[in-house]
Chains A and B, each alone.
Chain A
């Protein structure tokens, strides 16, 4: 991971621009909405009620995960390279706790179907991960260059 810090020289050589926070929020919101739309299309074809319920639970859980991770990531990006990387690792842990914890709560507390809920949470999780990672990697690169 030398590419992250080789130009940083401490706790952050040059902070990423403020716009990175907005890019992050937009990317996260787009990923949630886009994934929900694509999965809803697939659910319409499959037409199984259990999967619709799973999609609802997964969308809610993933929205919570995105809402928790975006502010932390945006804060890290504004403070500098090292903080951005540290924030990324923190949000990785927070995202998975919310995703898995929320999924289990929905299944055992809300009675949502286990397999669709967990599988769709993983799909949402991976898309959100890709969206956030893209913005963070671009911001780190542009700050380090």
Chain B
């Protein structure tokens, strides 16, 4: 029968894996930001096409996406500073 310690996943304390983890966390901020802006902008673009209001709803969508991306970024920033 395995001991409890054997069932835990191995800890990755080596420099390469920690560096990769930091890279992943940092890059995630930028990726979330652009995905939010592009997603909301694309929704606005699509609705613009339906309502024939181009480009105004795309701009509104982009601004909403920017606000969402900013909120996600600030949340990540505050968490990182708290840790």
Contacts and interface: CB of A to CB of B under 8 A. Distances in A.
Interface of A: 1-6, 82, 85-86, 88-89, 92-93, 95-97, 99-100, 104, 108, 118, 122, 125-126, 129-130, 133-134, 136-138, 140-141, 145
A1 B31 contact: no
Nearest to B80: A1
Give the size range of B's interface with the partner.
20 to 34
The majority secondary structure among interface residues of chain B is helix
B37 interface: yes
Nearest to B33: A96
Nearest to B55: A108
Contacts of A88: 26, 29
Interface of B: 15, 18-19, 21-23, 25-27, 29-31, 33-34, 37-38, 41, 55, 59, 62, 66, 69-70, 73-74, 76-77, 79-81, 83
